[in-house]
Amino acid sequence: MLKVEHLTKIYEGGTLALDDVSFEVPDGQFLAVIGLSGSGKSTLLRCINRLIEPTDGRITWNGVDVTKASQEEMRRIRRRIGMVFQHFNLVHRSKVLTNVLQGSLGYVNPALSLINRFPKEEVSKAYRQLARVGLQEKAAQRADELSGGQQQRVGVARALMQDPEMILADEPVASLDPVLAHSIMQYLETINREDDVTVLCSLHFLDLVHRYADRAIALNEGKLVFQGPPSEIDDDKFKEIYGQEAERVG
Amino acid sequence: MADGNNTSQQSPLDAMPLKPKRGFKRTIFFILAMVFGVIVYAYGFAVTDVNLDEIRSETRQTQLVRVLRALARPDLLSYERVETPTDTAFAMPCPAGGFNADGVDENARHITVEPACVEPGGKITVRGANFSANARGTLVQIPPSGDLELRLAEFQVDGNGDFELVVNTRERESDQPQTIRAITRENIGTIFKPVQVEVTSDAGVVSTVRSPRISKSTTDTWDRIIETVFLAFLATTLGTVIAVPLSFMAARNLMRDISVPMTKLALQLLAMPVGVGLGILAAGWARTISEQLTDSVFLVILGLVVIPFLMVLAFRWALPPVEEEPPTPMERSGRAVVILIASVGGIVVLFLLASLMVTVGDWLAPRLSTFDFLGSFVASLGDILNAIITLLTALATAGVLMNLAGKLGMWMRGHLPAGFIKVFRIPLAAAAGAVLAVLIGMGIGWLYQITDPMKIYWVPAAVGAAIGLALAIRAYQKEQVAIGLSIYYIARTIFNAIRSIEPLVMVIVFVVWVGIGPFAGSLALALHTVAALAKLYSEQVESIQSGPIEAVKASGATRIQTIVYAVIPQIVPPYISFTLYRWDINVRMSTIIGFAGGGGIGFLLQQNIRLLNYSAASVNMLAIAIVVASMDYLSSRIRERIV
C-alpha cells in the first residue's frame, strides 16, 4: 500500500510543482496518472522514490516512511521500485545485457560490481528478463543499436531485474508510435497481473488509460483534480482536467 | 479567457518603422574608435621595440643569411674530405723588368693572378678555372720560405667550375717569387655511393672508415628524441591516471547533489586525522611484521602465497555477493574484525611484494645485459611501492574511519532525540572546525617556519571553532551542508591555479628536487597534465546525459556504482580523445622543456644554438618536426578508430 499525504514540491526557483497532493494506491493496482505537460506528473513519480526531494508532506510505502529514510535505507527502498522512463534512459555505449544488469546493482556486492562482475545467478536472471521482453538475442549488442521500442523493452527488463513490488512508469510510451505503445503497455499489464506488481504510470492518451488502468488520478497545475475509475472521466471531468479549450482526440 | 484571441488586431509588421540611416553620433563614435585603435597600435609598436633600422643593417642581414644557410644544411651525415692544392706564382714587390708567372695549361685545373706582381699589401684578382663545380675552398698566400700558409679568403666555385675573387695580399716583401694557393675541399663519396677511406688519426693510427657516415649530431639527436618521446609518454599516462578520478570532483552535475548533515560532517572531519594516525601506526606494524620475513626470499614468497589466499577466504566470508537482508549487528562486528585483520595482512603483502620486487630487480639487472633496464624498472617499482604504502594505508584508514563516523552520525540522527542533536552538533561543529584549522595552521607553520604555538595552534583553533559554530548556528534549520559544491569549487580553483603555470616554469622547481634531466621534465609535464586534463574531463562529465544517471540511481545503486555504470560509459570516447590530444601537446612541450633543464631534445637544441652550431641545431629541429608531425598523424588516426 502506497500512501501519499499532503505532498508538496516547490522547486528552487519558486515553481509550485505539486500542491498538497494526497492519494492512496492499494497493492497490485494499475494506476494511471494523467494531466497536461507540466502538471506535475513526473515530479510526483520522482518524489515517490525520492529522485526529487519533496518539500513537504509524507509518503509511506508498506508502512515505511519514505520521506524520512536515510540514504542507506533509501537505497533499500529504491531497489524494490522499478522505474521506466519516457526517454528509456539506457546507457547507449553499454551492452544491452549490462543495461539490464544495472537493475541488480542495489542487491549485489558493491565492490565486485565496480569491476563489472556479477554473480552467475544475476546474469542468467538478466537473460531471463530479456527473454521475457523478447530480446534475448540482442543481449550482446550496444543499446544504441536498438530501435526505440526495443530500447523501451530493455528499460522494462531492467526494471524487472529489480524484482520490483512497484513500478513507476514516467510516460513510458510518449516517444513511441501507437502500435509500439500498446506492446509496451501490454508488458506493463502482464507484470501487473501476473507478478502482482503495483504500477503507477503517467499517460497522455485517454484511450490507453481506459484500456489498461484500474484507476486514474489527474493533476492540473500541481493539484489533484480527479481520482476514480477511468470510466468516470466524462466530458465535464475531461474539461476540468485538461482545461476548457481542450478537445478529446482519443 | 474566451475573448483572449481578439485583443490584438495589429500585425507585428506595422509596428516596425524603417530604420534611419547611421546617425551623426554614430559616425563620430566610429571615428573616435578608429583613432583610439591607431593609438593603441602605435603604443604597441613602441613597447615591443619594432625597429626597422636593425632589420635593414647589413651586418644583421649577412648574419641572418649565414644562419639560414647553416640551418638549410642539417648536419645529418659527416663526410671524409680530400684537399686539393692548385698553385701559381707571383711577386711582391714588383722586380725591375716585371714578373711573369709560368704558363698554364688552359685545359687543366688552374688559377691565374692579375696583376702578376703587386706592392706589399696590394690588391690582386684571382681567377680559377676547371675546378669541380660548386666546390668550396680557401685561398692562401705562401711566402718563399714555404712553411707558412697565410689565409686570404674563402671561395666558392660556380656551377661551371670557375671562380673569381679580389683579395688583399699580406705584406711579405721578398725578392723571391711567392705562391698563391687555392685549396679546395671536397667530400668523398655520396649517399648513393659511399666509399671506404683510410684515415690517420692525430695519434698516428690508421683506420678505415665509411664516407659519408651518420654524423655525431644525428646519433645524439636520435638518443635525445627517443628520450623526448618517452618523457611525453610517461607524463601523459601518469597525468591521465591521476586526472580521471579528480575530474569527477570538478564536475558540477555530480557534486551538486552531495550534501551531508552537519552532525555527520563534523564527526567525519574529526575522524580524518585519527584515521591518518591509525593508518600510519598500522603501516608501522605491518612493516615490522614483514621485516621478520624479508631476510629470506623463500619466506617472502611463502608469505606472498599464503597471506593473499587467507585474505580471499576472509573477504569471501565477510562480503557475500548477494545480500537480501541487512546483516545483524553481531554479524556486522564479526565481519569488521575479520576485514580489519585481513587488511593488515594486505599491507604486509604489499611490503613483501615491494621487497621481492627490489630483490628480483637487482638480481635481474646485471643478468639481462641489453635489457638491464627491465630489471631496474622492477626494482624501482618495488621502491616506489615501498615508499607509498604508508601513505596509501593512512588514506585508506582515514577513509574507513570517516565512513564509520558518518554511519555513527546517521545512527545518532535516527536514534537520539532531535532536540539533543540540534544542541549537540554545535560543539561538535566547533571541534571539527578547530581540528581542520589547526591542521591548516600546522601546514602554514611548517612553510613559514613559525614555531610559536600561539600562532600555529591556539589562534587557528579559535578561528576554526568560531567558523564551525557560525556554520552550525546558521544551518540550524536546514541541517544539510553542501559539501559537494565546496569540493567542486576547491578542486576547480586548484586546477586553474596549476594550469596557469606553464610546465616550463614548473620544471625549475622539479629540477631542484630531482636534478636536471628528463625525470624533472616528465614530473613537471605530468603535473600540468593532471590539471589541464582534469578540467577538460570534468567539462565532459558535465555535458553527459542525465537520464542514465537517474535510471541507475533509481535502481538503488550507490554513488560509486552510479558513476561506474552511468557516467563512465558515456565519457570514454571524449576521455580517450582528450588524452590523445594531451599526448600531442606533451610531445611538443617536451621538445622545449629541456631549455629549462627538463631533459629531452630541448637540452641539445639549446646547447647547439648557444655554440652557434646551427647545422647541428638544424638536425634537432628536423627531428622535432618529424616527431610532432607523425604524433599528430598517429593520434588523429587512433582517435578516428576509437571514437
- Dihedral sign of CA atoms B335, B337, B343, B349 in order: negative
pLDDT at B331 over 70: yes
Alpha helical stretches, state H, B118-170: none
From CA A54, how far away is CA A188, in angstroms rounded? 27
Lowest mean pLDDT among B220-224, B317-321, B517-521: B317-321
Lowest mean pLDDT among A152-156, B61-65, B86-90, B103-107: B103-107
From CA B169, how far away is CA B139, in angstroms rounded? 11
A160 close to B (CB below 8 A): no
Q: What is the mean pLDDT of chain A?
A: 89
A13 close to B (CB below 8 A): no
Instruction: Tell me the CATH number of domain B78-214, given options 3.40.50, 2.60.40, 1.10.275, 1.10.357.
Output: 2.60.40
Burial of B180 from C-beta contacts in 10 A (0-12 / 13-18 / 19+): buried
pLDDT at B475 over 60: yes
Query: Each residue of B438-471: pLDDT tens digit?
Result: 888 888 888 888 877 777 788 888 888 888 888 7
Please tell me the number of Cα atoms within 13 Å of B355 on its side-chain side: 24
From CA B51, how far away is CA B30, in angstroms rounded? 30
CA-only gyration radius of chain A, Å: 18
CATH 3.40.50.300 at A1-80+165-181+198-245, yes or no = yes
- CB-based contacts of B10: which residues, under 8 Å, 6+ apart? none
Burial of B56 from C-beta contacts in 10 A (0-12 / 13-18 / 19+): exposed
Query: Each residue of B133-156: pLDDT tens digit?
Result: 878 888 999 888 877 888 888 888
Query: Each residue of B179-206: pLDDT tens digit?
Result: 889 998 887 777 788 888 877 777 778 8
- Asked if B561's CB is within 8 angstroms of A110's CB, the reply is yes
Query: Each residue of B533-563: pLDDT tens digit?
Result: 999 999 999 999 889 999 999 998 988 899 8
Q: Are B598 and B521 in contact (CB under 8 A)?
A: yes
Binned at pLDDT 50, 70 and 90, residue A84 comes out as very high
- Asked if A111's CB is within 8 angstroms of B410's CB, the reply is no
Contacts of A162 in chain B (CB under 8 A): 555-556
Q: What is the mean pLDDT of chain B?
A: 85
User: What's the confidence (pLDDT) of residue B243?
Assistant: 93
- Asked if A51's CB is within 8 angstroms of B553's CB, the reply is yes
List the single residue in B321, B566, B569 with the smallest CB-CB distance to A119: B321
pLDDT at A247 over 80: no
pLDDT at A116 over 90: no
B554 close to A (CB below 8 A): yes
User: What's the confidence (pLDDT) of residue A187?
Assistant: 92
User: What's the confidence (pLDDT) of residue A58?
Assistant: 92
Q: Is-cis flag, bond preceding B144, omega within 30?
A: no
From CA B90, how far away is CA B83, in angstroms rounded? 22
Who wins on pLDDT, A234 or A146? A146
User: What's the confidence (pLDDT) of residue B291?
Assistant: 84
From CA B232, how far away is CA B122, in angstroms rounded? 61
Cell of A179: 502500435
Binned at pLDDT 50, 70 and 90, residue A178 comes out as confident
User: What's the confidence (pLDDT) of residue A33?
Assistant: 93
User: What's the confidence (pLDDT) of residue B1?
Assistant: 40
From CA A40, how far away is CA A23, in angstroms rounded? 15
Task: Show the 3-state SS of B319-343.
Answer: CCCECCCCCCHHHHHHHHHHHHHHH
From CA A112, how far away is CA A101, in angstroms rounded? 13
Binned at pLDDT 50, 70 and 90, residue B386 comes out as confident
Q: Which residue on chain A is closest to B326 by alpha carbon?
A: A76
**A71, A73, A67: which is closest to B261 by C-alpha?**
A71
User: What's the confidence (pLDDT) of residue A216?
Assistant: 93
User: What's the confidence (pLDDT) of residue B21?
Assistant: 62
Domain ranges of chain A: 1-80+165-181+198-245, 90-163
Cell 482545461 belongs to residue? A243
Strands (E), B507-579: none
Q: What is the DSSP code (8-state) at residue A39?
A: S
Return phi, psi of residue B180, to 5°. Answer: -105, 125
pLDDT at B248 over 80: yes
What residues 289-348 of chain B have any CB closer than 8 A to a CB of chain A? 319-324, 326
pLDDT at B322 over 70: no
Query: Each residue of A86-108: pLDDT tens digit?
Result: 999 999 989 999 999 999 998 88
pLDDT at B405 over 70: yes
Who wins on pLDDT, B176 or A249? B176
Percent pLDDT > 90 in chain A is 60
> A179: part of which helix (H) or strand (E)?
helix A178-194
C-alpha A248 chain-centroid distance? 25
Taking the domain B224-259+494-643, which CATH number applies?
1.10.3720.10
Distance from CA of A233 to the nearest CA of B (A): 24
Binned at pLDDT 50, 70 and 90, residue B23 comes out as confident
**A157, A144, A185: which is closest to A100 by C-alpha?**
A157
Q: Are A184 and A86 in contact (CB under 8 A)?
A: no
Domain ranges of chain B: 29-72, 78-214, 224-259+494-643
Helix (H, G, I), strand (E, B) or coil at B98: coil
Strands (E), chain A: 2-10, 16-25, 30-34, 56-61, 64-65, 81-84, 166-170, 198-202, 215-220, 223-228
Q: Are B186 and B145 in contact (CB under 8 A)?
A: no
> B139: part of which helix (H) or strand (E)?
strand B136-142
